[in-house]
């Protein structure tokens, strides 16, 4: 069965092997060397001055970023489940918030951000997804961040990049915290959250708050290649192995380029067989189709063609399906996935199978210059 859900993603055999080695004690020079390597890799990946690892799923880092970087009022951008999560975190932490809410296919409008910042000058942090996984859309985070800093140079921009980091290069010039999680583009089991930080964010963190997720305490320790509490040692060893795999496959630029090519070729193939892409600004992390038979197509793919892809949640339940593009995915797997979708349409009597999806996928993927 091909696992094509936009998180969790499959774990490569070599990475599984790296995580199957004997457990190391974390307060040792041996583990510190492993931690140092992971830290350096993450700083490069985020392209930011600092990187922190936390033993939690991605949401732990989302919560801790809000607690440390928002002191008066949050602006949350809600175009789906994960944007809504930032709003719910604000409520749970008793942080006042203004929420900009959109349909799940619609990215944030910069005019709305400008108006919110002018109406509420006490907003000191903005929380937004780079890629909102609920509908597979890409927010214009870089432009939003530049605009917000123009209006208020001290504002903090917290970007949830959980389905964007490792998918595409993100311009972090105006981003203060960029978050990711292990089970998406980095193809690891869940349980490790990672966050890149700007110098301004580090200054605002100051002495830190909270106990387990105290970012000041973590920063102090992690700069010395250790952690305040027991780290997720196994996942960090897997992370280094995964960075090794990315390097072997041609490095980060190639990793991004191949993800973009797969996303483009998949979208072209799906459109060629008459399907409709859901978001108005699709992210590269996943291909999302809105379709009255979404659920049937998903079931046929799972039961007949060996492909597991994701459906939708809430009001999009049974209305969309989402195909993962994150990670080191062989093109022939993606070509099979679009072919299987075409076969499913034929099974449903919607169109005669003629191999268009596979052909268009390969044309777009392989005609593109390397």
Ligand X SMILES: *Cc1c(COP(=O)(O)O)cnc(C)c1O
Residues that bind ligand X (CB under 6 A): 7, 57-59, 82, 129, 133, 160, 162-163, 181
User: What tokens were used for 139?
Assistant: 């927010």
Please state the closest distance from residue 77 (CB atom) to ligand X, in A: 12
State which residue, 57 or 106, has the beta carbon closest to ligand X.
57
Please state the closest distance from residue 268 (CB atom) to ligand X, in A: 24
ω into residue 8 within 30 of 0, thus cis?
Answer: yes
SS3 23: coil
Assess contact for 323 and 337: CB atoms under 8 A. yes
Assess contact for 42 and 225: CB atoms under 8 A. no
In this structure, the dihedral spanned by the alpha carbons of residues 324, 274, 362 and 349, taken in order and rounded to 10 degrees, is 90
SS3 288: strand
Please state the closest distance from residue 32 (CB atom) to ligand X, in A: 26
Q: Are strands 123-129 and 156-160 parallel, antiparallel or unpaired?
A: parallel
Residue 280 sits at the vertex; the CA angle it makes with 135 and 157, to the nearest 5 degrees, is 70
Residue 192 sits at the vertex; the CA angle it makes with 131 and 7, to the nearest 5 degrees, is 40
State which residue, 166 or 181, has the beta carbon closest to ligand X.
181
Please state the closest distance from residue 370 (CB atom) to ligand X, in A: 29
SS3 199: helix
State which residue, 15 or 162, has the beta carbon closest to ligand X.
162
State which residue, 59 or 358, has the beta carbon closest to ligand X.
59
Please state the closest distance from residue 62 (CB atom) to ligand X, in A: 6
| Dihedral sign computed on CA atoms, order 243, 9, 56, 282 | positive
State which residue, 69 or 360, has the beta carbon closest to ligand X.
69
State which residue, 135 or 231, has the beta carbon closest to ligand X.
135
Please state the closest distance from residue 160 (CB atom) to ligand X, in A: 5
State which residue, 66 or 117, has the beta carbon closest to ligand X.
66
User: What tokens were used for 299?
Assistant: 């079931």
Rg of the chain taking only CA atoms, in angstroms:
21
Please state the closest distance from residue 89 (CB atom) to ligand X, in A: 11
């Amino acid at each position: 069965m091909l696992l094509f859900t936009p998180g969790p993603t499959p774990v490569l055999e070599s990475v599984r092997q790296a995580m199957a080695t004997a457990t190391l004690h974390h307060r040792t020079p041996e583990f510190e060397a492993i931690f140092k390597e992971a830290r350096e890799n993450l700083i490069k990946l985020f392209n930011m001055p600092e990187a922190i690892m936390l033993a939690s799923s991605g949401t732990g880092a989302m919560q801790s970023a809000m607690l440390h970087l928002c002191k008066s009022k949050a602006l949350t951008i809600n175009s789906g489940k994960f944007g809504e999560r930032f709003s719910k975190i604000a409520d749970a932490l008793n942080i006042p918030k203004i929420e900009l809410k959109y349909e799940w296919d619609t990215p944030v409008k910069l005019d709305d951000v400008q108006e919110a910042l002018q109406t509420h000058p006490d907003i000191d942090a903005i929380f937004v997804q780079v890629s909102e996984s609920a509908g597979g859309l890409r927010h214009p985070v870089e432009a939003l961040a530049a605009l917000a800093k123009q209006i208020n140079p001290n504002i903090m921009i917290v970007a949830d990049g959980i389905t964007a980091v490792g998918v595409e290069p993100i311009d972090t010039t105006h981003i203060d915290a960029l978050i990711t999680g292990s089970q998406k583009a980095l193809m690891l089991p869940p349980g490790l959250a990672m966050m890149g930080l700007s110098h301004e964010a580090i200054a605002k963190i100051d002495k830190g708050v909270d106990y387990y997720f105290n970012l000041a305490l973590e920063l102090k320790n992690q700069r010395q290649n250790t952690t305040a509490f027991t780290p997720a040692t196994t996942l960090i060893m897997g992370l280094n192995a995964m960075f090794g795999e990315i390097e072997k496959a041609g490095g980060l630029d190639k990793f991004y380029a191949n993800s973009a090519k797969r996303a483009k070729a998949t979208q072209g193939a799906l459109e060629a067989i008459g399907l409709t892409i859901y978001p108005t600004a699709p992210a590269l992390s996943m291909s999302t189709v809105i379709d009255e038979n979404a659920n049937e197509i998903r079931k046929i793919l799972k039961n007949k063609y060996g492909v597991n892809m994701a459906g939708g949640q809430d009001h999009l339940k049974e209305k969309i399906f989402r195909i993962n593009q994150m990670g080191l995915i062989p093109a022939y797997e993606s070509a099979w996935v679009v072919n299987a979708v075409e076969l499913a349409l034929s099974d449903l009597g919607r169109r005669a199978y003629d191999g268009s999806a596979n052909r268009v996928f390969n044309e777009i993927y392989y005609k593109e210059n390397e």
